[in-house]
Structure 1
Amino acid sequence: MDNPTGLAPATDAHLPEGLRTPFATTPSTKPTKQRLRPSAAILRPSCASLGLDLSDDSLAGTPRRVAKMYVQEWFKGLDPRNRPEVRMFHNRYNYHQLLVERDITLFSCCEHHFVPIIGKAHVAYLPSASVVGLSKLNRVVQYYARRPQVQERLTRQIAEELKQSLGTDDVAVLIEADHLCVMSRGVNDTSSSTLTSEYGGQFATDHALRQEFLRQIGK
């Protein structure tokens, strides 16, 4: 990925249009404290409209705590400064077989109801002249997960980011997750889970390679 300044872009402009998170404006890069104030100010009347007594010592700090959770934790993937820099290293080991990072803990948030999506991501690629530090695969997953999401877009965002960063289409991503919008409301189904996948390059055309990836992640 060509990024000589080392700075993250203002939005997801480097992704294909259909994969971009629907930003209404350029994501704010103001200091955290400045971003917390308006978020907390919005949450305060929302809590009051539910009949909660915000003068109670247990609830008085809730609007700010929730705002802090959104800005610094749940939705930190909306801040372009958190986009991981994926550094590549020369493949001096001449390793050209399947490389799999499985069971990456995934915590995201449903953009329809703002409730958690919890699961695992499995990613794989075929190294060529370069390899990537393994922790960077996890960081890419977390960057796109930590924002309001739908699982289908999240899966493809991770795959596209890895394709661009690794310089190869030979990338596979599979996500299995539980959605609390399904489990705790509506149908209240606590037994189902959602699987999504994206296969690029040889993973899309080589059935044996895809099956080996699925075997290694226990599918």
Structure 2
Amino acid sequence: MTDKPELKVTIAHDYLCPWCWIGVLQAKRLKEEFPQIRQEWIGYELLPEALGPLPDFTPKPKDPNEPPAPPSRLELLAELDGIPIPKDRTIGVIRTHHPLQGAEYMKHNAPNLFDAYNEAVYRAFWERSEDISDLGVLAAIVEGIGIDPKDFTEKLAARAYSDKIVEFDDDAYARDVTHVPTFMFRGERCAEAPYATIREMALRYLAWYNKG
């Protein structure tokens, strides 16, 4: 009898992406409901250096006479899943190569602490507007969860895990990932989706698995 494959969902993500802020909280809910499905997070870097200088995302001054804009698709999804979008953030577009490398460091050196690192980095960037491209900021995060910051920062500075990160556009598109977060269950995938869709995919995956 052939051994069953591992129960696993692969999640393509980047800390820079607001949809992934929703995604990390959806994934946390998914793990609570389906602890038997292992989550494999893969960093898909939205703005690698090869794409050139970072775009300017300086917010435009608000016109007090302009009527309020209708809710965006992102805002509607966040409301549907009960996830607050942090307001009054003071940081714009950054490079995420270091924090994505940090995630790979955790996988290889302290996999039991990966989830704590992943969520802490998302919260640092989205809730506290911290510059997670800065090795000092990341060092403080890992020290707070019990990791030696010296070894961690040395490995990241040496780009020890760069080959584990998938870059947009070409490399990501070659893997059929065009958006993050993308949740991949065996042959099914969804991107920028409500939790109900992700949950339904998990249920279909488990039904297929249990028939084997």
Report 1 or 2 for greater relative contact order, CA contacts < 8 Å, sequence distance ≥ 6: 2
Q: Which has a greater percent of strand?
A: 1
Larger helix share, 1 or 2? 2
TM-score by length of 2: 0.30
Please identify the structure whose Cα radius of gyration is greater.
Answer: 1
